[in-house]
Amino acid sequence: MRLAHLILAHKNPGQVERLIRALEHEQFDFYIHLDAQADLAGFARLQALPRVRFVQPRHLVRWGSYSIVEATLQGMREILGSGISYDFINLLSGQDYPIQPADAIYRFFASQPGRSFFSVEAQGSAWWQHAISRVEQYHTVYYKFRLQYALERLLNRLLPRRRFPLSYQLYGGPYGTWWTMDRACATYLVRFMDEHAHVRRFSRFTWGSDEFLLSTILMNSPLRHNVVNDSYRYIDWSGGGASPKLLTLADFPALQASDRLFARKFDVAHDAAILDMIDQQLLHLKPASSC
């Protein structure tokens, strides 16, 4: 079994390096999509790490916009076109971290051939009660221009509700961005998005499509029966708001008790000690050099 970790990064090159070193395994490769707004020079040293590649071209990623999906698809295209026969693609952000040793993660996915792991809720769930506005209203976050939000309000006042361009049941959720999928699902999704320009156009005017677009396409596909409704991520949304809680040392007991494979969200500028504790107690790694 061979797995490609696709990492979406935009800051903290030392933390991204630490993530890669924590996941080091002879059957794991790393593909980094670095936001086009980030300084490549700060990340250059990562190119010297074993089995690390940078995705090209780089996309300018705006939070909440379809550009997150574009960057993800670009990484998937590069992985599928690499000439290496990967069994799985695992999507991470630069602020994720494993909470199981790399070999345990390898063994888990090696025991699950042909499976894909998403956390999704069907349309009509409590999450969709408020999230449906992401689809039905016009959002201009993909773009950046003067008075764009005034225009957005005008469009939503004057025009009818938008409809997803395909007769699909919608699937998504607060854990929907981060997933692990097998090669067949990745191939299907890339081909589907490349062949459906109207879906791409529609998605440019959505909000937070990374939490629902790919899972909606996959769950309406012939491959839906291969999806396990669990992404094996520990994410704490208890603080409310549009972003998950930054994890600190206070969260270590919950991480230690968790059966998840990965956790997010971490920031070494906020609390690096939590990563030290994970390394020592959960991953059994040697102490990391300062990030």
**β-strand pairing of 227-229 with 116-118:** parallel
Kindly tell me if the per-residue pLDDT of 191 is higher than 60.
yes
Q: Quick one: how far is CA 10 from the chain centroid?
A: 13
Count of Cβ atoms closer than 10 Å to residue 135 Cβ: 25
How confident is the model at residue 288, as a pLDDT? 56
E strand or H helix at 107? helix 102-110
Angle at which helices 183-195 and 67-80 pack, to 10 degrees? 120
pLDDT for 252 = 98
Distance CA 198, CA 86 (A): 30
CATH architecture classification, 3-283: Alpha-Beta Complex (3.90)
* pLDDT 10s digits, 86-129: 999 999 999 999 999 999 999 999 999 999 999 999 999 999 99
Alpha-carbon torsion 233, 39, 88, 209, what sign? Answer: positive
pLDDT digit string, tens, across residues 25-54:
999 999 999 999 999 999 999 999 999 999
What pLDDT band is residue 18 in, cutting at 50, 70 and 90? very high
pLDDT > 90 fraction of the chain, expressed in percent and rounded: 96
Asked if pLDDT for residue 289 goes beyond 90, the answer is no
Higher-pLDDT residue of 231 and 287 is 231
Q: How confident is the model at residue 239, as a pLDDT?
A: 81
Computed over every residue of the chain, the mean pLDDT equals: 96
The amino acid at residue 20 is I
Q: What is the pLDDT of residue 196?
A: 98
pLDDT tens digit sequence for 249-262: 999 999 999 999 99
Q: Could you tell me the residue ranges of all domains in the chain?
A: 3-283
pLDDT, tens digit, 9 for 90 and up, residues 133-186 = 999 999 999 999 999 999 999 999 999 999 999 999 999 999 999 999 999 999
Element (H, E) at 104: helix 102-110
Structure tokens of 263? Answer: 């956790």
